[in-house]
Amino acid sequence: MEIIRTTAWMKQIARDARVKERILGLVPTMGALHEGHLSLVREAQKQCSPVVVSIFVNPAQFGPNEDFKKYPRTFDADLAALEDLRVDYVFAPPPEEIYPPGFRTAVAVEGLGDVLEERVRPGHFRGVTTVVLKLFEIAQPRSAFFGRKDAQQARIIRQMAVDLNLDAEIVVCPIVREADGLALSSRNAYLKGAERQAATALYRSLDAARDEIAKGERDAAHLIATMRGVLDAEPGVALDYAEIIDGDTFEPVVSLRKTCYALVAARVGATRLIDNALIEQQGDSFRVNV
């Protein structure tokens, strides 16, 4: 496994892969790797060779009062986990490689990037799309792998890839959960004591909505009330939002149709968590993937 620190060398690796007609896959991460990240790596290895995992804690996607300075950084452990998986390359540039002096450019996806998470974290997606586009240009992946837990992010990146005629195929992989349903997240490391149990309320709210849908419920307001009821009943959980939205436009829906998401975001103590369920119509019924 080779660790790459400069954009110039990463671009050379990408050029060599193209010349040899190899299918390069990219797994963008901010490090603090967990099984969710590693599941993306395994999927990338099924489809691509070589595989590049980027580790870069992107300052541009953190707001002034967010957790950039204390965001978990476990670089040595990350390298050990990737070594075990026999990853080909780790691209771990210092900030000045991505944002050199005089850097002025940003990428924004209008509409999709103006709702939900963006209302709570202004400027967040502009930082995400800018760094992802840079990673795509540097590594030139044939496929790039993202987790469905960040559903709005994945949708925005797909739109960016379409709008800018990018060559990378965006592959969105299932959420990986703990045994009690908590979606894996690097920020779970912040949860202490009773907060860890309280955090399962996000999953339980989605599971409750799934039960209602299985009983035939299609009304979005009813499903939102069901999710809110679970979250409001859990001490220590402060709800940011619970929504049922169209899977393409990310606009609210009145009743379930085709493809939707149930989205929840909440603070557990000082830790902000997000989760979602994918709702897909199959004939007269709906399948809910939590």
Distance CA 32, CA 106 (A): 26
Type of residue at 190: Y
- For the annotated catalytic residues, the residue numbers are 37
Contacts of 205 (CB under 8 A, 6+ apart): 226, 227, 228, 229, 230, 231, 242, 264
Angstrom CA distances, 287 to 59, 251, 263, 278, stand at 37, 20, 16, 8
Distance CA 8, CA 244 (A): 43
DSSP letter (8 states) at residue 187: G
Q: How many CB atoms lie within 10 A of CB 56?
A: 19
Return phi, psi of residue 72, to 5°. -60, 130
On whether the CB atoms of residues 280 and 290 are closer than 8 A, the answer is no
Considering just the CA atoms, what is the radius of gyration of the chain in Å? 19
